[in-house]
Chain A
Amino acid sequence: MAQQLEQLLTCCICLDRFRNPKLLPCQHSVCMEPCMEGLVDYVRRQVKCPECRAEHRIPYNGVQGFPSNVTLQRFLEAHIEITGETPDPHTGQYMERCNVCNEKNYLSVCSHCEKKICEDCKAAHLDILKREIGRINNQVKRASHRLNDQLSTVERNITSLKQNTTSVSDEIENISKRLQKSVRDRCSFLKAEFRNLTMLKESLDQEVSNIGANIELAEKHMDDQTPWDDAELMDAKDIFLKTMEFIRSFDYEAGDYSRRARFNPPDDLNKLTTSLSTLGDLTFSTPNKMSDGYSSGPSMGSGLMKSKSDHRLAAQFRDQEDGYGYTSGRTSPLMRRRFGERNTERHDEDSSADSGRRRFRSRFMRKEEDEERSVRFAEEDGPKRQRVFDTEDVSRGPLSGIVRLYDSPRVMKRFQERDQNKTKKKEEPPKPAQPTLPKPPATPIQRKTSRQTSNEDEIDKIKKQNKNTDSTSGATATTPTANTSTPSTPTTPKPAGERVSSIRDDERQSRSDRTSTSPRSSANHSPASSITREDDSSRRNEYSRSRAESNASGANGTTSRPTPARKTSVDTGVTSVAQRAYPFSRSSSNSSVGDKDKNTSGTRSPRTLDTAGYERRLSRSNSTDSNKSGDGSSSPKKATGAAFSTEELKNRFVRTDSKPSTSKVESSSRSSGPSNSRFQSRFLGRAGTPSVETSKESGNEDEDDETTEDSESEESEESSEEEEEEEEEKEPTSEYSRADIGPLLGKSAQARDVAGSTSSRSTWGDRSSYPSASTSGTDSGYASRYGSNSDNSNGSSNNSSRYGAPTSNSSSTDAGATSHRRPSYLDSAKPQAKEKEDEFESKYPYSSKYLNRSRAAVPEEDSKPTFQSRFLNRSKSSAVLGPDDNDESTPTTTHGTGRARFEELKERRQRLARSKSSAGLEDDEGTAADTNSAANYRPRYGRVEPEASATTRNTAAGTSSVGAAGSSSNAGGDNSGSSSTQLSNWARYLKNKYGNRSGAAAGGGDSSSRSTGTGLSGSTSTSAGSGLGSNTSSASGIMGSGSRPGTSSTVGGRAISRSRSSHLLGLAKEGESSEDDSKNVHATPTFPPAGTQVPTPFGSLHRSQYLQKQRLLIKIGSRGSEPGNFTWPRGIAVGPDNSIVVADSSNHRVQVFDQQGKFIKEFGSYGSAEGEFDCLAGVAVNRIGQYIIADRYNHRIQVFDPSGMFLRSFGSQGGGDGRFSYPWGVTTDALGFIYVCDKENHRVQVFQSDGSFVGKFGSMGNKPGQLEHPHYIAVSSTNRVIVSDSNNHRIQIFDINGKVTTTFGSEGSDEGQFKFPRGVAVDDQGYIFVADSGNNRIQIFHPDGSFLRAFGCWGSGEGEFKGLEGVAVMSNGNILVCDRENHRVQVF
């Protein structure tokens, strides 16, 4: 009954429930949609009833005009009610044609294909997606351990770094103490002089009085009144004579003493500082033990770690910044970073430098490339698509920005649903791809970072906050700060204005607090300090007060991003400070500088403030481990926006500090002269807001430097204190003051002491000042300029200052790095610097150059180079980050060009924000950028291997000289190029490091020039190559570039290298702007070959090359039996001389062509005698050029000598050992063993080169290790035997013992699937080429069997195939394909 009812309610056409049933005049009902429409005969305007075939005229208004069968509808409704069926979900919708299956149906948009499709198709797509996710997830799972490895390594490195740092810093302190003492010894000498002089004076006094007395006596008594006897007179005469003589002869060399004692520093302080800086060798090159985890070895030292952390911080910072927007008010604080941005970051990360780092990255890339492609990038390309998982409140990986799916509300909801319904419906695999980087808790910094990000992300999620705080508390000493930070967090979620205001409030508050504090502190100190000090303090008070006021007013006044207010206030503050400073410094030039700076600061947006604060923190963290924790705590806060207040505080604080520091400097500088003052003023002015901070920092730094004993600890202490203060806004004032001001006082006091001996003092002052100066300069300038990127620079600068100042920097590593770095600069600036000077020298020129350019005082410069080098190192290592790169470039430019440039740069930088090394571009030569980028890598290596430095430098020079072209060529460049052209240390090093691969690359050296050309062509056009190639310097250029790709390839991150190269290309092409793009591209693992589509036919960068493969190079032959033509060519092989050997199967002959496809010779004819063939299939050429032919229908293998003369044959038809049944593919390995695909016996047989049977493997079947009609075979250089298991539609890889190592592929036409795969080939790097015969395409696989690329389709055009047979790959990467049905050989 029920069934009948059902039937009554079912449309006879669609067999579904009636949907809007229309009643025909014959009383039959039909669905309106889509059934009725199908019944319409438009020609006759009638409808034929499907049931009774009655024909009805269509009403005037169409089929709509038929009455609806209301009764039926009621029934339907009733039925639904009774049975409780879910109502038709599509009511109210209308049907459309599905965009996939073209059926008319209710459609919805599919996120997978972005089309409106029907449910069925959608389900299919969902399946596909699920499968994809599963696959990717598997990959992720497989690869995830790497991250863990990295993590543990990082942890280990952290500990070791920590230890190292402490020990080194101890050492440094020692040294600095000793140095100090040695310098002070001069003081004591001067004192001795003074003592001498006084003694002289005393004795002279005595003499004078004696003589006077004598004179008096002589005058008075040397007359006749007094009886003198002769002896007495004689004596007296003698005495007077002697006196006379003495007076005459006594010639006090007044010059000795009247001359001002002066301390002449050797040459200038440059030298001293540089020598100092090189003195200690704060070598990060010792880091072998540190880099233990990374097999890349020494290249990644602690610097790397730092850089990494830097980078992370930077990333954080950037995130945060994104949150705030670059310019004030432009973006809402809620703005999230976009994928692209994140990518870039990653990119940068990548490009960053340390090979270790790179390695990580690249590996990551390679392994999870797919995932990225499908997941991330899929997302990326559809920005409009609503991203369901990627919501605000999810936590995401700090590095990759990968969302933690479990946190996504959607996911949670799904789970909930599932649990509730218990229905099988699983919208998504429980945890599809959860590549969320485990937040690396390893490095404190890292931890910090992660927390920061998470904070940022989860601001409004209290739950998450809790979690975070927990984690943080778990972390380290960070706990209190972290907790404190949390409260600050809630402010963030508020709308921008509100938040801003709140921040403002915070600021104000903090400021007020601070102000109160600062006076107090100053007061405390004033007794200790001299009068000037008191002055200072009072001034400080004033400042702070005014500062606070101005700020407050600004806050009140503007709701929008505080830029104006803040700026102004800052400006004023700065100005005032600067002005104050001037009188003290007494240098007129300063004022101008200061003004300029002021202007700069004026233009700067509040962002700078952030940055500065951030930097500061960062730098501090860098400086000391202990600091880190404090920093960490602070940074999150900062991220949340409370940071602002912090910064503000700091600024204020700084400001107050800056005064003291200034004064101090002044006091010291009085004698030291303009240099100091200038530094100061400059620093003040330039930095603007940041400068203030910087100044403060400088103060700190100074303290550190001078009070060597506790400097670092103090600093850290101080920093933490500060932070605490900031957070708790009060209590530590005294401490703070102690920390800050006390040392300052001490220092000043010291300075005063020193003042007695001017020279020494000045030295000191200089020294102390410049580290700070450099720091400040860089920090502020850079920060202001970039706002966002500053972190690294800060860190580095800080470090440099730290190291550089007290111990005079010193470490060979540093120096080395510096030098490396420097050369690049030098090169760009003045190529003549190329000579391999030692690092010092190189440094010097640089500095001198710098001097020329900038008006800053000498010491400052010195310090700067130091800093820079340091910084460079760091940044280099951390080049991963875009910001870092920026940093690098920035300093360069800054220094190189001087102020104006600098400003310009700054603006640029702000605009570009993320663009890498583009600053360099801006510079005089467009090359700079290239150089930079090239240099990025180089220094890394250089650091690792000092010997390589020379080469590197050369390379750099080469690069620069070559210019953009060179760089581009570099991009395209190969290891091979570099190694072959100059088998230098570098190359050797590379080779050592990377073993075969680079070695192989070297092998391909001959093609270097060509490769260069290709690189160029990639950027511009194919033809351009020659010019480049001819360029002599290109070689070196290649080298430079070579280093890069080499590394990357080593890492296994071919993708990286590829992208890098592409990136470079982009660079060359479009300049800096393109760089961004390229970077993005970079991040995209599947860099569309579009940009670099030119088939890089040569060179060893196989992966990139292969990825670009698509275009036909040569096409050999057509159907025919004359030489050069084929009839069903099957096997193909490449001879040792790159000749192409083709088994022209149905012509029963072997043809040999040269590399260009020119016919050389043929041999063989039809028959079964010696040297005759019957439908030969496989060919192989062994190392000595002998041809090995699988004579298929004769069931034998024939061997010919290189001239084509028959040597021997073996085998006959059968199933036994050494017998064949239709042998097909044949190959040979390096040892000359012959592998034969015994097709109909479903096995592979191995023979010695003389034909004696060695072994066999495989049997009929489809299990691993079994074969079904194996067709072709190839042996890699690593003795992996690759067999195309044709009828199983897979490729199997055996070891030489016949054990299966890998099996991949299945039947299908997707990537990595086959239909009757035939030819296989493997290149010297293990990449596997498969002629996917049934799909008429070539597929390329990674050595591990993962899919790399496919190309080709059915057809007879270029790059199209009909029935593929053998493939072979030439040593230059060209792929040879036997296109059977087209009777030709194609070369790609």
Chain B
Amino acid sequence: MIAIVMETQRLMAEPVPGISAVPDETNARYFHVVVAELFLPEEYPMSAPKVRFMTKIYHPNIDKLGRICLDILKDKWSPALQIRTVLLSIQALLSAPNPDDPLANDVAELWKVNESEAIRIAREWTRTYAMGN
């Protein structure tokens, strides 16, 4: 709990560039991250936070429900990682999809076949779902 508070403070003090993560008012373990949600489980930091995208994202490593395929959120989690690092990792993942380890196979397929088309669709999705128009 101390760690969470401290992390939160630090996160608020110097946010991850490009990502705003705001703790929920009623639940310190819950963060609103731009288009995603981040929840710190009871065992945190011994277990990974749960991150999920709230909007549809066209990305080979993110499925329709917003679940993220990211190793550090799974087996590669380390207690030394923090929300900040997680967010950074996700940011990196978004910018550098890994179609070889896909969660959404169709997207991965397209990504492999026609990356520009895939990126276009992704942009469109982002405009449609994340930016609200």
Binding site for B on A (CB under 8 A): 12-16, 35, 38-39, 48-51, 53, 101, 103, 105, 118, 120
* B46 touches A (CB below 8 Å): yes
> Which B5-36 residues have a C-beta within 8 angstroms of A?
6-7
Task: Choose among A14, A38, A50, A51 the residue that contacts B43 (Cβ–Cβ < 8 A).
Answer: A38
Closest 7 pairs (CB-CB, A-B): A50-B80, A38-B46, A12-B80, A50-B79, A15-B6, A13-B79, A50-B78
Pair A39/B79 contact, Cβ less than 8 Å: yes
Distance between Cα atoms of A13 and B45 in the complex (Å): 7
Pair B80/A13 contact, Cβ less than 8 Å: yes
* B96 touches A (CB below 8 Å): no
Q: Known contacts A13-B45, A38-B46; is A53 also within 8 Å of B2 by CB?
A: no
Pair A15/B46 contact, Cβ less than 8 Å: no
Nearest CB of chain A from residue B17's CB, rounded to whole Å? 19
Residue of B43, B76, B81 with most chain A CB atoms under a 10 A cut-off = B81
* B119 touches A (CB below 8 Å): no
Quick one: closest B residue to A36, CB to CB? B79
Quick one: closest A residue to B81, CB to CB? A50
What does the 1/0 interface line of B45-88 toward A look like (CB < 8 Å)? 11000000000000000000000000000001011111000000
Name 5 extra pairs, CB < 8 A, besides A15-B7, A105-B1.
Answer: A16-B6, A38-B45, A39-B79, A49-B78, A53-B76
* B3 touches A (CB below 8 Å): yes
Q: Known contacts A38-B43, A38-B46, A39-B46; is A16 also within 8 Å of B2 by CB?
A: yes
Distance between Cα atoms of A120 and B2 in the complex (Å): 9
Q: Which residues of A contact B46 (CB under 8 A)?
A: 13, 38-39
Distance between Cα atoms of A499 and B56 in the complex (Å): 86
Distance between Cα atoms of A15 and B80 in the complex (Å): 9
For the residues of A in contact with B, the DSSP-based class is loop
Pair A51/B1 contact, Cβ less than 8 Å: no
Q: Which residues of A contact B76 (CB under 8 A)?
A: 53
A-B contacts, 29 of them at CB < 8 A, read A12-B79, A13-B45, A13-B46, A13-B79, A13-B80, A14-B3, A14-B45, A15-B2, A15-B3, A15-B6, A16-B3, A16-B6, A35-B79, A38-B43, A38-B45, A38-B46, A39-B46, A39-B79, A48-B78, A50-B78, A50-B79, A50-B80, A51-B78, A51-B80, A53-B78, A101-B1, A103-B1, A105-B1, A105-B2
Pair B1/A120 contact, Cβ less than 8 Å: yes
Q: How many interface residues does chain B have, given as a range?
A: 10 to 19
Quick one: closest A residue to B78, CB to CB? A50
Nearest CB of chain A from residue B74's CB, rounded to whole Å? 13
Q: Which residues of B contact A48 (CB under 8 A)?
A: 78
Distance between Cα atoms of A1385 and B98 in the complex (Å): 60
Pair B1/A13 contact, Cβ less than 8 Å: no
Binding site for A on B (CB under 8 A): 1-3, 6-7, 43, 45-46, 76, 78-82
Quick one: closest A residue to B6, CB to CB? A15
Quick one: closest A residue to B43, CB to CB? A38
Q: Which residues of B contact A14 (CB under 8 A)?
A: 2-3, 45
Q: Which residues of B contact A118 (CB under 8 A)?
A: 1
Q: Which residues of B contact A120 (CB under 8 A)?
A: 1
Quick one: closest A residue to B45, CB to CB? A13
Q: Which residues of B contact A35 (CB under 8 A)?
A: 79
Q: Which residues of B contact A13 (CB under 8 A)?
A: 3, 45-46, 79-80
Q: Which residues of A contact B79 (CB under 8 A)?
A: 12-13, 35, 38-39, 50
Q: Which residues of A contact B2 (CB under 8 A)?
A: 14-16, 105
Residue of B80, B81, B82 with most chain A CB atoms under a 10 A cut-off = B80
Quick one: closest B residue to A10, CB to CB? B6
Q: Which residues of A contact B82 (CB under 8 A)?
A: 15
Nearest CB of chain B from residue A428's CB, rounded to whole Å? 26
Distance between Cα atoms of A53 and B81 in the complex (Å): 11
Q: Which residues of A contact B3 (CB under 8 A)?
A: 13-16
Residue of B1, B3, B82 with most chain A CB atoms under a 10 A cut-off = B1
Quick one: closest B residue to A12, CB to CB? B80
Q: Which residues of A contact B6 (CB under 8 A)?
A: 15-16
Q: Which residues of B contact A51 (CB under 8 A)?
A: 78, 80
Distance between Cα atoms of A227 and B11 in the complex (Å): 166
Distance between Cα atoms of A49 and B76 in the complex (Å): 11
Distance between Cα atoms of A101 and B80 in the complex (Å): 23
Distance between Cα atoms of A50 and B6 in the complex (Å): 18
Q: Which residues of A contact B45 (CB under 8 A)?
A: 13-14, 38
Distance between Cα atoms of A53 and B1 in the complex (Å): 23
Distance between Cα atoms of A15 and B45 in the complex (Å): 10
Q: Which residues of B contact A50 (CB under 8 A)?
A: 78-81
Nearest CB of chain A from residue B26's CB, rounded to whole Å? 12
Nearest CB of chain B from residue A135's CB, rounded to whole Å? 23
Distance between Cα atoms of A16 and B45 in the complex (Å): 13
Q: Which residues of B contact A15 (CB under 8 A)?
A: 2-3, 6-7, 82
Residue of B7, B45, B76, B81 with most chain A CB atoms under a 10 A cut-off = B45
Q: Which residues of B contact A38 (CB under 8 A)?
A: 43, 45-46, 79
Nearest CB of chain B from residue A1065's CB, rounded to whole Å? 45
Quick one: closest A residue to B46, CB to CB? A38
Distance between Cα atoms of A49 and B81 in the complex (Å): 11
Nearest CB of chain A from residue B41's CB, rounded to whole Å? 12
Q: Which residues of A contact B78 (CB under 8 A)?
A: 48-51, 53
Q: Which residues of A contact B80 (CB under 8 A)?
A: 12-13, 50-51
Residue of B7, B78, B81 with most chain A CB atoms under a 10 A cut-off = B78
Quick one: closest B residue to A121, CB to CB? B1
Distance between Cα atoms of A38 and B78 in the complex (Å): 11
Q: Which residues of B contact A53 (CB under 8 A)?
A: 76, 78
Quick one: closest A residue to B82, CB to CB? A15
Q: Which residues of B contact A101 (CB under 8 A)?
A: 1
Distance between Cα atoms of A16 and B5 in the complex (Å): 11
Quick one: closest B residue to A13, CB to CB? B79
Nearest CB of chain B from residue A16's CB, rounded to whole Å? 6
Nearest CB of chain B from residue A931's CB, rounded to whole Å? 60
Nearest CB of chain A from residue B70's CB, rounded to whole Å? 15
Quick one: closest A residue to B1, CB to CB? A103
Quick one: closest B residue to A102, CB to CB? B42
Residue of B2, B43, B78, B79 with most chain A CB atoms under a 10 A cut-off = B79
Distance between Cα atoms of A49 and B2 in the complex (Å): 21
Nearest CB of chain B from residue A809's CB, rounded to whole Å? 73
Distance between Cα atoms of A1340 and B115 in the complex (Å): 67
Nearest CB of chain A from residue B49's CB, rounded to whole Å? 14
Quick one: closest B residue to A118, CB to CB? B1
Distance between Cα atoms of A1333 and B26 in the complex (Å): 21
Nearest CB of chain B from residue A98's CB, rounded to whole Å? 9
Nearest CB of chain B from residue A1068's CB, rounded to whole Å? 51
Quick one: closest B residue to A119, CB to CB? B2
Distance between Cα atoms of A15 and B5 in the complex (Å): 10
Distance between Cα atoms of A12 and B80 in the complex (Å): 5
Residue of A13, A15, A39, A48 with most chain B CB atoms under a 10 A cut-off = A15
Distance between Cα atoms of A814 and B34 in the complex (Å): 85
Q: Which residues of A contact B43 (CB under 8 A)?
A: 38
Nearest CB of chain B from residue A4's CB, rounded to whole Å? 15
Nearest CB of chain A from residue B84's CB, rounded to whole Å? 11
Distance between Cα atoms of A39 and B45 in the complex (Å): 10
Nearest CB of chain A from residue B40's CB, rounded to whole Å? 12
Distance between Cα atoms of A49 and B78 in the complex (Å): 8
Quick one: closest A residue to B76, CB to CB? A53
Distance between Cα atoms of A386 and B2 in the complex (Å): 30
Quick one: closest B residue to A39, CB to CB? B79
Q: Which residues of B contact A16 (CB under 8 A)?
A: 2-3, 6
Distance between Cα atoms of A101 and B28 in the complex (Å): 13
Distance between Cα atoms of A992 and B76 in the complex (Å): 83
Distance between Cα atoms of A50 and B78 in the complex (Å): 5
Distance between Cα atoms of A15 and B81 in the complex (Å): 11
Residue of B6, B43, B76 with most chain A CB atoms under a 10 A cut-off = B6
Nearest CB of chain B from residue A27's CB, rounded to whole Å? 14
Nearest CB of chain A from residue B114's CB, rounded to whole Å? 36
Nearest CB of chain A from residue B28's CB, rounded to whole Å? 11
Residue of B3, B7, B76 with most chain A CB atoms under a 10 A cut-off = B3
Q: Which residues of B contact A12 (CB under 8 A)?
A: 79-80
Quick one: closest B residue to A35, CB to CB? B79
